[in-house]
């Protein structure tokens, strides 16, 4: 387990992880910010959805799905890959829209990730995972993370409009929702420890 850190030794978040992966909505430990405005929430959504890395991520995931022939009805070759790509892109964009803009606006929640930065590895990992169900409201107080839970639920439901009938229904929708919740939990964990990884392995190069 990592030794507890004092506030003066906490590491800072960077705008990107390894110069590539967007990290725009991560807040360094012990930093207090003003509530996000509607415009800022929209900026978080567009930044995560239309950054060059988002297109690359979708391209890779679509390629893997195509190679595995995840949905034979999509066909093979370029047309098959295109079927995976545009659906994956809409999945990503719609998910970000719901969890980073629409629901945060409606519920007055803060869509940013506030790094804990102190304590043992176990404590920080538990904190990061808990942030998919607990977040901060615009006043900075803890609140259920309706944006994450309901936002991903709505996005998973909307996907029934453009997925084949074999991938529709309650069970498939629930699996997409659970998968996205798991991905977001993993993403939070990476964000939590990124400042330490950057400092220890890369000497704050990134």
Q: What pLDDT, on the 0 to 100 scale, is given for residue 70? A: 87
Tens of pLDDT, residues 135-152? 999 999 999 999 999 999
List the chain domain ranges: 36-200
Number of residues in the chain: 206
166 secondary structure, DSSP code: G
pLDDT (mean) for 166-177 = 95
Integer Cα distance of 102 and 157 in angstroms:
15
pTM: 0.88
> Over pLDDT 70: what percentage of the chain?
95
Q: How far is CA 155 from CA 4, 41, 147, 178, in A?
A: 38, 17, 11, 12
User: Do the beta carbons of residue 17 and residue 206 sit within 8 Å?
Assistant: yes
Tens of pLDDT, residues 78-137? 999 999 999 999 999 999 999 999 999 999 999 999 999 999 999 999 999 999 999 999
Tens of pLDDT, residues 2-41? 444 444 467 899 999 999 999 999 999 999 999 999 999 9
């Amino acid at each position: 387990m990592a030794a507890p850190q004092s506030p003066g030794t906490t590491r800072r978040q960077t705008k990107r992880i390894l110069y590539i992966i967007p990290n725009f909505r991560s807040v360094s430990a012990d930093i207090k910010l003003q509530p996000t405005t509607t415009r800022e929430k929209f900026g978080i959504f567009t930044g995560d959805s239309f950054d060059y890395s988002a297109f690359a991520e979708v391209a890779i995931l679509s390629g893997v799905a195509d190679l595995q022939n995840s949905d034979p009805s999509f066909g093979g070759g370029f047309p098959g890959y295109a079927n995976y790509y545009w659906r994956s892109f809409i999945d990503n964009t719609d998910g970000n829209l719901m969890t980073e803009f629409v629901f945060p606006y409606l519920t007055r929640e803060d869509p940013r990730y506030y790094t804990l930065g102190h304590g043992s590895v176990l404590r920080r990992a538990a904190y990061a995972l808990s942030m998919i169900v607990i977040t901060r409201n615009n006043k900075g107080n803890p609140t259920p993370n309706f944006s994450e839970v309901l936002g991903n639920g709505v996005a998973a439901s909307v996907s029934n409009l453009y997925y084949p009938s074999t991938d529709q229904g309650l069970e498939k929708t629930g699996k997409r929702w659970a998968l996205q919740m798991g991905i977001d939990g993993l993403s939070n964990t990476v964000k939590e420890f990124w400042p330490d990884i950057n400092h220890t392995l890369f000497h704050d190069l990134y």
